[in-house]
Structure 1
């Protein structure tokens, strides 16, 4: 299906839409600019509808079982006051349409223009969230939906534009395969900016598709980790970390991929694994039926792979989860679904090791004694981490936080200097 300016179209109508799309976009750009208050009111209304439970049948029909909890975590970001605070923090006086007095004249703030969003399928709501950032900055939005979106974004866009028809001309969404380069090239040719949320392969593919002059805005895959250098309340903090590992399954940029221990003694790492496994096991038992079955199958496959490889690493297996102690220091992806890596990394080696992943680091979940938190936080920030949280809060979204170390809305505007 296709969403085009408020209407749902069949895939058979795609060629005709592509033929007329440039004219439609230019017509919208030639008219009045998008009023940010219209966006704020519409999103706030959608959030209140989510609170009321009115969207529960929609989520049950189109979204995975975890969607309700994931959306609840970002609910605060959809409140009008939170969005207004974000606009002020990220843009200040540089909101689209603003005129800023300068010594030579004035600077007119404009939307970038047309944004092509290429979004992943690893987190519910990302396509809509990406388009929301485009709307907040007054841009037209073309959304390439991820495989497995299951119609959720199309349904949400339809509901949003029914509630606020003035948003309809600013939104288009396409169920297009990543292999359909012909269609993607035509969409990219219309874009002033291409927004990608994928990994290296997705970023490279979009670079090949985007024409010269199209601004590439990368929100690529990131790596996150926990750093254990002590604790305030061991049981509580370790349990929170275990729940995070199981709940996110290693699928998010903020998911813990490696548990680093502030030691270079293997026997201490083995003792940690033995003590942490029961907590990870307990968290794994709290999964729903589908999640437990998927994790059990994945863990069984992982166990067979370990046996076949004959690797020298040591692995502790639980019920649909595991800990694998590896002798190297490198930050890498974990085996996912509650199967996580453990490595030694004394703090004196933290910067040289983590700097090998510069540009890819995101969240560091820090467990330490209270008197060491400030020192270790500064050390992790110098190493390149862009978010430093308590270990159990690694994937929690905080209102007003930056995106991978940047204020994203600033990347969706342009400045026109005017001599007077």
Structure 2
């Protein structure tokens, strides 16, 4: 999307977030779902196909534009970003990096039109440890397809997804570079695919996760992403770089929302005859939060510019996600403190911000796993000097 068109779209989206989505948050929280009319509006706006190429029905945003949109959407309740984030993030990234032309031609227009995707990597006994993956894909003895068996856990959008990208073991033993894992595009209405009840979570009302069960699921040969076995983990990791930038942008946008709320409360709330915003230790918490949000915004600008320039951003995407998610946790904690006793009550937004933000440090790679990844790349780069 050219710069002028994007600027207009971004301005329109900022108004939509403040005038439409934020007033709808109470409905989302009370009913634990994004209202159907808003979901339809988001599809009509093209939010489900932001990163899909324009010649396949999408907006064709680059990484810098994509992150700005995610950050803007994340000023509102997290459920609004979550419902389309897998489409424009991990699913589309895997399709772009590893899909065949036929797979792209089939699925890009469908997800751009609003079909909802989910991403099946994590299992009950396997998260970051792909060697422990138990889901299997075996050649169908009656044809050129595959038979999938296993289960996936904590899968965002699973209860209402139309399609899943499923990682499965195609070799018995863990081969070098995770070549035992392959990726499959699996429509959720395929016989043998089922989902569990949505899990009850600490926060992020309206955003649903659930188990995905695969019981003798037959898929055709062209369901294999890229048409080649042993590439699934590589595609997944490349997709997770995109997902980590998305979570970093979401953390940054939500931290800004929380800080704006704290500014408003500190200006209106009075103690000892004056607004608490006049107290220096309140100002310190506000200033620390502003400083950290600004740092995250600068990291986002850098990592997305690198991605748009064609650089590998494995280390930078991980660093941005770690800093932004941890920063958001610190900001929402300060916001609760600024609210004081009111910050502990569900009646006020601060309590919700605190619960919603906690997951950002966990999904798309925990802080600790990403710290290991960052250090690994540092040591590898040093050894190559």
Tell me which interval the TM-score lies in, with the shorter structure as reference length: under 0.3
Q: Which has the higher contact order (CA 8 A, sep 6+)?
A: 1
Instruction: Give TM-score, length-normalised by structure 2.
Output: 0.26
More helix by share: 2
Instruction: Give TM-score, length-normalised by structure 1.
Output: 0.24
Quick check: which has more Rg, 1 or 2?
Answer: 1
More strand by share: 1
